[in-house]
Amino acid sequence: MGDTNVLETTEAQIAVHWQEEDYYYPSPKFIGQANVTDPAIYERFSLDKFPECFTEYAEMLTWYKYWDTVLDTSDAPCWKWFKGGKINASYNCIDRHLKDNKNKTAIHFVPELEEERIDHITYQELYVRVNEFAALLRDFAGLKRGDRVTIHMPMSAELPITMLACARLGVIHSVVFGGFSASACADRIVDSKSRVLISMDAYYRSGKLLNHKINADEAVALAAKDGQVVDKVLVWQRYPGKSSTETPMADGRDYFVNDVVKKYYGARVEPEQMLSEEPLFLMYTSGTTGKPKGAQHGTGGYLAYVTAMSKYIQDIHPTDVYWCMADIGWITGHSFIVYGPLALCASTVIYEGVPTYPDAGRSWRIAQALDVNIFHTAPTAIRALRKIGPNEPAKYNYHFKHMTTVGEPIEPEVWKWYESAVGKGEAIIVDTWWQTETGGFLCSTVPAIKPMKPGSAGPGVPGIHPIIYDEDGNEITQPGIAGNICIQNPWPGQMQTIWGDRDRFVKTYFARYCKNPESKDWRDWPYIAGDAATRSADGYYRILGRIDDVINVSGHRLGTKEIESAALVVQEVAEAAVVPVAHEIKGKEPDLYIALKPGIQATDELAQKISDAICNQIGKIAKPRKVWIVPDMPKTRSGKIMRRVLGAISNKGDVGNVMTLANPEVVETIKTLVQKS
Ligand code: WT7
């Protein structure tokens, strides 16, 4: 990285800048009912109480056997939490609630079509369906503890049923976001070595019934080319008892779950007593290289952490109706639609479709119909809802006590609309900063204790001790100076490793500031999150954006290398460079620069072909704003593509001094091309 200021050349440079905002205080009504109100919680979780403090979180769960060691550091930095403990996640999210709450709704499934009835699944019904499907997975699909399964499903009640059935057996699930392409699904099948793929025939999106089964066929074919054979494809039906896809079922490979499961009606499966550190799931995420990495999350530590965060930060009580609008295919959905809320015996809402379908009032009608009182979404959705229906929330009779924002920085103006219009001035807001790798929240206010500050995530949550380092590893203590935000201590929700690539895990998250690579002491292994941040005098952190080659589109991570590799599959392409460009709703969008092989003409058709290649390989979410075919890339004398210069052009910013480049003249040419259109 040399001596150049890394922060200057990355997204932080084009991050939104704003002034310190005033505090907003929680209402006495909120405080009166909150799960935690005693500020002593920060004292209980101070660094000198580490790691024993986290037993408070583990105690929220039901264990077959208690742990011997709270934190085992012998394989640093692959920490093992609650070592020696035995536990099952499915038992904790279902069975333990049956005695007192079997008739309570666990899942409200809301179909996208408003003429279809909402499905209310009680804890007892969830128990029955998870057991039957677990029996099918074990006896029909031959799956056992430690096997991996890839799940490529849309938002549906069957998705958490599938995950919990895996967890019951100790099968490691790897859920791929339903909107991802077959090719992205295939990569994850190959990396996790899954021999079973679980899919669904179809789902609704913006009023259209999309054929999803076709992705399973393509994914299986692509995985086979890479040497991974999938021998069973289990397909749930959107309308049980009837197929909603024209894609044929391959004989001896593809099975409709709704047919096969009949053999298992009434079956009960004893939950596996998992070691606390055995993996619960993999969640693939983008990084600085082309290949997505499988964040491996453990069972006991992860579940303890998300349960505690749901209780203390989301303030979930068993009587609450909780709606997180994220997709279960992302970490937010795993932690805060499925595992956290269900471990606390809440009712969790799963909505199939688009929040603004068929109109801007849809989300608020759902909130009204189900009497939702906790609401959780991302700035990109808030911006979209504000744009198309700023006055819609007032038309509906719902009342939120609590709202969350997650995934990217929220502009104070948007925050204020969220607070006054969506929250009707009655709801508290938590701005939760965290990552796929961290399992649960890192920074946020504890809602009844700390006031809110628009645009700031807040201090570290209890037990998380952030620190900001400069490029040389010195702590930055002055307020308002940006640096690399790190966490000084391990915590139970932290990923255990990258699936199959321990070296990459150590390199990506620890190498930068590790004090001694031989050390078994956690103090020597600060975790680097990959975000730039500032801390203000009150100890609140403001997240500025990624310091690495990751672009945050609508709160979802895409690696620039991932998109560039997809573009390079088009054979006319010689070089590709992706930069983030600011977008009103999505936060950021990828802008793609292309240099063609010699003798090839730039045409609109070719630009379209490159854009299509990216959608096919990754998914529509990665679609570039524009494909700019340029005569040459701006390069340093050593041949490095200057993405900073391209980023400045895309964002109509200052390109700075380019005279040291190998080809400074190309900058003007590109600028004219981009800025005139
Ligand atoms: C990256 C992680 C956390 C679940 C959803 C995204 C950005 C996340 C915030 C926030 C500012 C945020 C960071 C982070 N981010 N939450 N509240 N304020 N930025 O998970 O896909 O792993 O992305 O999202 O840049 O590193 P992810």
User: What does the DSSP assignment read for 220-258?
Assistant: HHHHHHTT----EEEEE-SBTTB----SPPPTTTEEEHH
pLDDT at 572: 95
Ligand 1 atom closest to 529 (CA): 26
Residue 60 makes CB contacts below 8 A (sequence gap 6+) with 304, 307, 308, 311, 343
Q: How confident is the model at residue 15 (pLDDT cuts 50, 70, 90)?
A: very low
pLDDT tens-digit series, residues 479-519: 888 899 999 999 999 999 999 999 999 999 999 999 999 99
Q: How confident is the model at residue 550 (pLDDT cuts 50, 70, 90)?
A: confident
Burial of 1 (C-beta count, 10 Å sphere; 0-12/13-18/19+): exposed
Ligand 1 binding residues, C-beta < 6 A: 285, 331-332, 406-409, 431-436, 457, 529-531, 543, 545-546, 552, 555-557
The DSSP call for residue 433 is: B
Q: What is the mean pLDDT of residues 280-291?
A: 86
- 133 Ramachandran zone, left/alpha/beta (phi>0; psi -120 to 50): alpha
Q: How confident is the model at residue 2 (pLDDT cuts 50, 70, 90)?
A: very low
CA–centroid distance, 95 to ligand 1, in Å, is 32
CA–centroid distance, 512 to ligand 1, in Å, is 20
* Residues above pLDDT 90, as percent of the chain: 86
pLDDT tens-digit series, residues 103-149: 999 999 999 999 999 999 999 999 999 999 999 999 999 999 999 99
> Residue 460: enclosing H or E segment and its boundaries?
none
CA–centroid distance, 105 to ligand 1, in Å, is 30
Question: Which residue's alpha carbon is at the smallest distance from atom 5 of ligand 1?
Answer: 407
Q: What is the mean pLDDT of residues 67-79?
A: 98
pTM, two decimal places:
0.92
> How far is the C-alpha of 621 from the C-alpha of 184, rounded, in Å?
12
| Cis amide leading into 379 (omega within 30) | no
Q: Is it the case that residue 287 has pLDDT exceeding 80?
A: no
Mutate to test the pocket of ligand 1, among 435, 464, 540 (most ligand atoms within 8 A of CB): 435
pLDDT tens-digit series, residues 624-667: 999 999 999 998 877 788 888 999 999 999 888 888 888 999 99
Q: What is the mean pLDDT of residues 273-294?
A: 90
pLDDT at 547: 86
pLDDT at 17: 46
pLDDT at 176: 97
pLDDT tens-digit series, residues 413-443: 899 999 999 999 999 999 999 999 999 999 9
Q: What is the mean pLDDT of residues 372-387?
A: 94
Task: Centre a 10 Å sphere on the Cβ of residue 376 and count the other Cβ atoms it contains.
Answer: 24
CA–centroid distance, 408 to ligand 1, in Å, is 5
Could you tell me how many residues make up the chain?
677
Q: What is the mean pLDDT of residues 540-565?
A: 87
pLDDT at 672: 94
Q: How confident is the model at residue 18 (pLDDT cuts 50, 70, 90)?
A: low
Q: How confident is the model at residue 16 (pLDDT cuts 50, 70, 90)?
A: very low
Q: How much is the mean pLDDT over the chain?
A: 94
SS3 sequence of 383-396: HHHHHHCCCCHHHC
Mutate to test the pocket of ligand 1, among 327, 429, 498, 557 (most ligand atoms within 8 A of CB): 557
CA–centroid distance, 182 to ligand 1, in Å, is 25
> How far is the C-alpha of 271 from the C-alpha of 92, rounded, in Å?
10
